[in-house]
Structure 1
Amino acid sequence: MYRHLLVPVDNTDLSTVTTGQAVEFARAIGARITFLHAQASHASSPQGKSELSAPISSKDSAYKAEGWAKELLAKAESAARAQGIPCSSVTAIGDTPFSAILATAREKACDLIFMASHGRRSAIGEMPGSQTLQVLAGTKIPVLVTATAGSAAATQAIGILQDEHRSLAAVLHAWLFMLASPQTSGMTPDAAQMQAMLHYIRTFPLTLHHPKEQQYLFGKLRERTSALNAELDELERQHERDGRLVAELSSLVDRYAAGSATAGEVEAAVAAYAKLTWEHLGREEGVILPAALRYLTDEDWAVIHSAFAENKGPHFGNDMDAEFQRLYARIADLAA
């Protein structure tokens, strides 16, 4: 039986589902996992560039790519650790993802490549994407290409949940980039922008997203099964911890604005908060969402979708003034 899986991850909904499937598979057979983020050398962000973004230097591009890779791999590792799966992660930058996958599988002595296919539907089923085909053609190591299934209601609801996760991630990446050394970012950290970012975190993830997760997603899961109660209890404790950490960050930024705290102190605190956030989101996306696909009904997903659709998308709010709109556009630009 397989003992060491290589699992490529990227910033797509399909990859999130695949991570959860890989974790469940590894737990069932007693295997360990190496997660790989294979990145093209020219990429700067898995989110793509915003309309307002200006060209950035190769140094800036490398800094941003490293930040996004850390997030994706931290989330994947967190999903595995939550299920007691031994794991590690690596990043590879090269011309093509498939070549990095093949090289890493050989280097790490993996005996199975577990991956999704970003392909298309046909009359005979799912057609593998080009990278998957290249992996299949180029390796003697067994490759397990996963299939995904889910109702339209589930797909829509999970899409909104993951969009909101990505919105929070974008703000945190923008914040960390702004706090990087002037030689890297070319910008002086601005207290007003940091306060705007905190305002977003307080008014959207903390006030809207977390409570609705607990009431609708977690609540429906508790109705359908008790198998996830311990994990849901821990995630709810993390939501409470999140509020305390944001309050501490807010106090630190206020001290920075008054000149009694340094940018380095703020950067360290934001980096620690981001790391905890990646771990939290990894448990939700890699453990809870795959379980929800298994346990929840179409009616459950319809209720969840209806609740989250009322959020009107991940933004600061419909009543903000023009200046705040411009500030948010700047934050989105920094994250791109």
Structure 2
Amino acid sequence: MDVVKEILTKIKMYQTIIIHRHQRPDPDAIGSQAGLAEILRESFPEKNIYQVGGPVEGLEFLAQMNEVSDETYKNALVIVTDTANSPRISDERYDLGAELIKIDHHPNDDPYGDLVWVNTKASSCSEIIADFYHLNQDELVLNSNAARLLYAGIIGDTGRFLYPSTTPHTLEVAAELMSFDFNPAELNRELEQIPMNVAKLAGYVYQNIEVDEQGAAKVILPQSLLDEYGIVDSDTAAIVSLPGVIDEVLAWGIFVEQPQGYYRVRLRSKGPVINELAKKHHGGGHPLASGANAKDQKEIKAIYEAIQKLCKEYKK
């Protein structure tokens, strides 16, 4: 039995299913998590299906989280979507269930769970959940809200189909999801629009970006700046892709100071592989989109020098 059928078999076995995703969620985290929950609620109305985790940080228009007690985990099946490493799972009670399933599209460096389905060729975890439905559509039901959520996850992780992860299959899946009863244009606007203070931060990024002759770029966002603009860390997600529109930029790091004093590092690339660099600094992710951490300016310097080296080698 392949892993897809094994997952469906496990879902059928359990009366209670609790679905987690990663901390600081993006549209794909919410889309895959809540999208799967919607499919299972529609397909198995007699089951108790919950989507859980911390704050959704500005994505409330996509889905809300359920509150569950520790007791609910007893004899429950737990599924985690879009989360490469177990420390990043939002709500550490994920291991209180009877069995654990991991569904993801990141490199499988941390193969936690009793069942693992990882497809690194998928554009997003939402695409994988859509595939899960298609592979079992004789037994599963996809409703309009599930389609809306999965579509949001796909356009979020593909940058509205601009990123290299977009494949012909991705577009086929997205096209079918668009045939359901929701407004894709309105959803795109909701995902795209930013508040004025974040727009001003975007201006700061363009004014203060540092780019070397190899196309390696960096921007440092100190906590004092975030306080001045009235911005929290989750708001900075909207500006991560901005350096990529600059023709001279090949790979970049955005270093966001946290209230605790360390820096959250967002790494992006148009070619050089940067996830191995991220792993060296308490992070990881995709070859061209990863995250890491830097404890101080010295570590920022080391990360940026590594980006410079990667860009130089890539251009040889």
Q: Which has the higher contact order (CA 8 A, sep 6+)?
A: 1
| Greater fraction of residues in strand | 2
TM-score normalized by the length of structure 2: 0.33
Structure 1 length normalisation: TM-score?
0.31
Q: Which has the higher helix share?
A: 1
